[in-house]
Amino acid sequence: MKPAEITCQGLDSIRSSRPMIHHITNTVVMNFTANVTLCLGAAPVMAPCIKESPEMVRFAGALLLNIGTLDLGLVRSMLAAGKVANELGIPIIFDPVGAGATGLRTDSAKLIIRELEIAVIRGNAGEILALSGAEGKVRGVDSMDSVEDHIDLILSFAAESGSVIAVTGISDIVTDGNRTARIENGHSLMGRVTGTGCSASTSVACFAAAMEDPFHAALGGLVAIGIAGENAAEVCAGPGTFVPCFLDALSDLNRKIIESHIRAEIF
């Protein structure tokens, strides 16, 4: 199946089934990623407390874990909800925000990957390289590295971890160790507002809740975000108006727009 058809089928499935996406995410992006979820056609719930996160996940189509504003209590909640998700076959999407920047972030991300079965790990190049055994360069939560010189390492990480690895940047790479896709959609304005990386993970979670194949979900989720970013950039006045235009563009996505804008290949 071609990337455009994968994305279209996934988006149609999200909008017909309206899965609930359980977010245990960072406080900076909660409102934004909730709106991203709604604009794609899914239903968000934010339930970070350990006293309810394992119960809430039972109603979810996917569980999104994001360590952007990290504390140890949040990690415990993620592990508790994640173990229930694994028992029930609910896909987990993990965003290791800032892994490689500090010991706490790196160790917490490695603990989550070790203790849980993760369907998709979505991060920037520095975060993914830090988790794969390389010295990923991260400043704060921003990547200072590129994936282009480390494709073989990323493929090995996917094969060893059993997770689909989705690396976002100027070009996005998605791989399960056997299949690999490159996605060229996106716009530089996406890097000038808070939360677009987190919204990519949210989009992947929405697609994962509606598709059986995590590789297809990661591909479709990143294509959708990239095309919406391009279309928003065409009509906004700058970073301040980009976000509402981006949400509108996500809501407006359809087969015609996807087929006419997609720049992606599987190889």
Q: What is the pLDDT of residues 170-215, one digit of tens each?
A: 999 999 999 999 999 999 999 999 999 999 999 999 999 999 999 9
Task: Specify the residue for token string 């996934």.
Answer: 10
- Statement: residue 250 has pLDDT above 50: yes
According to DSSP, the β-strands at 62-66 and 92-95 are parallel
Which run of H or of E encompasses 263? Answer: none
- Statement: residue 102 has pLDDT above 50: yes
Contact of 93 with 120, CB cutoff 8 Å: yes
Rounded to 5 degrees, φ, ψ at 159 are -65, -40
- With b meaning 16 or more CB within 10 Å and e meaning fewer, what string describes 198-226? bbbbbbbbbbbbbbebbbbbbbbbbbbbb
Q: Say what the pLDDT of residue 146 is.
A: 59
Cβ–Cβ contacts within 10 Å for residue 69, how many? 16
142 — pLDDT class (breaks 50, 70, 90): very low
| Mean pLDDT along residues 27-52 | 97
- Statement: residue 223 has pLDDT above 80: yes
Q: Say what the pLDDT of residue 84 is.
A: 98
pTM of the shown model: 0.94
28 — pLDDT class (breaks 50, 70, 90): very high
Amino acid at 149: D
- Statement: residue 140 has pLDDT above 50: no
Q: Running DSSP on this structure, what letter comes out for residue 147?
A: S
For 3-262, CATH gives 3.40.1190.20
Contact of 258 with 8, CB cutoff 8 Å: yes
Q: Reduced to 3 states, what is the DSSP secondary structure of residue 261? A: helix
Reported in sequence order, the residue ranges of the chain that DSSP labels E, i.e. its strands, are 20-24, 43-46, 62-66, 92-95, 120-124, 138-139, 142-143, 164-168, 172-175, 180-183, 264-266
Comparing 148 with 137, the larger pLDDT belongs to 148
Contact of 261 with 252, CB cutoff 8 Å: no
Mean predicted lDDT score pLDDT of the chain: 94
* Domain range list for the chain: 3-262
Helix axes 196-210, 3-17, angle to 10 degrees: 80
The conformational region for residue 158 under phi > 0 = left, psi -120 to 50 = alpha, else beta, is alpha
